[in-house]
Amino acid sequence: MRADWSGRDVVVKRTSPAELAVLRLFADLDEPMLPRLLASGVDGGGPWIVIPFHDGRAVDLMGEPPAEVHHRMGRLHARFHGRTDRLADALEVIDPAFVRRGLAEFGTEQLRRARDVIGESLYARGCRLLAALADDEAFCAAADGFDRTLLHGDLYGLNVLQPSGREPLPLIIDWGAARIGPAMFDVAMTTGYDSAGRRAHDRGWAEISGAEPDPEENELAHAWSTALISAMFAGTVAARSSAADGEQLIIAAEDSVQRFRRLHAVRQTSAPCVSGS
């Protein structure tokens, strides 16, 4: 809710424990694209926050945010890489159990809700994909094989506010789905691996860590993340946008699963063998 707070134009909202936790973490960071917490607390209705109001419009549902968004997220990911022990218990971890729930429960339910929109053939195709991935031990277990950091967790077009007037940069909003997982999960939400956005992300990472992330792990994590996200959200996108957009996500998931399996096989083959004496 937009409000006047001691003469300031602000947004006052009920929020999740995850968003409250990360906005408090951001207080010490000099990152202008992150929301600035003015006040917060927890009462009988749950957590609440006060943040500045920013004038602008969101990127489209299926739109790709400016590369600068990924650049700033790369900086954030690098800050918390290897430091997830500092993060609050309120943040969900993307682990094998999360993957199975996301596919077998959330993704399947979203597809069911879009059934009338997408038709029986595409619905059956999506269900087969979700069930196959949920039962794929190697795919689910891969969640534990990637380095983890702080994630936005839902970094798609409607959660990026484009500036208007004197606002200098986009604003990354709605951190209620903040999680802990591989950095490429945030990147894969809106952009491909061979993209200006992903390269901007890696430059931002290098600005904080001193070196770009490992390209082999990045490509593997991006393929895996794209498969998971596309499969999970195909039904959501179909219901909110169109059957054609939902179908494109199912195709992206199918293609990305194959890409992940090829990259994973190469990595397993090239891994050094260690023999005991």
* Strand arrangement, sheet containing 56-58: 56-58, 160-163, 171-172
Spatial CA neighbour of 205 closest among 182, 223, 189, 224: 182
Tokens of 108: 């399947």
Q: What H or E segment, with its residue span, contains residue 25?
A: helix 17-26
Q: Mean pLDDT, the chain, as a whole number?
A: 93
Report CA torsion sign: 253, 239, 98, 221. positive
Output the pLDDT for position 267.
85
Confidence of residue 48 (pLDDT cuts 50, 70, 90): very high
Output the pLDDT for position 271.
65
123-164 confidence digits (pLDDT tens): 999 999 999 999 999 999 999 999 999 999 999 999 999 877
pTM of the full structure: 0.93
* Strand arrangement, sheet containing 46-52: 2-5, 8-14, 46-52, 39-43
**What is the rounded CA–CA span in Å between residue 223 and residue 267?**
13
**What is the rounded CA–CA span in Å between residue 174 and residue 52?**
13
**What is the rounded CA–CA span in Å between residue 178 and residue 18?**
6
Angle of CA points 100, 89, 110, to nearest 5°: 30
**What is the rounded CA–CA span in Å between residue 199 and residue 206?**
11
172-229 confidence digits (pLDDT tens): 999 999 999 999 999 999 999 999 999 999 999 999 999 999 999 999 999 999 999 9
3-state DSSP call for residue 93?
strand
- Identify whether the C-beta of residue 190 lies closer than 8 Å to the C-beta of residue 83: no
- Identify whether the C-beta of residue 204 lies closer than 8 Å to the C-beta of residue 75: yes
Angle of CA points 266, 230, 227, to nearest 5°: 10
Q: Tally the C-alpha atoms within 13 A of residue 225's C-alpha that lie toward its C-beta.
A: 28
Instruction: Quote the percentage of the chain above a pLDDT of 70.
Output: 96
Spatial CA neighbour of 68 closest among 2, 1, 147, 160: 160
* pLDDT of residue 277 exceeding 60: no
What 122-128 contacts at long range (C-beta under 8 Å, 24+ apart), as own/partner pairs, is 122/243, 122/246, 122/247, 122/250, 125/250, 126/231, 126/234, 126/235, 126/246, 126/250
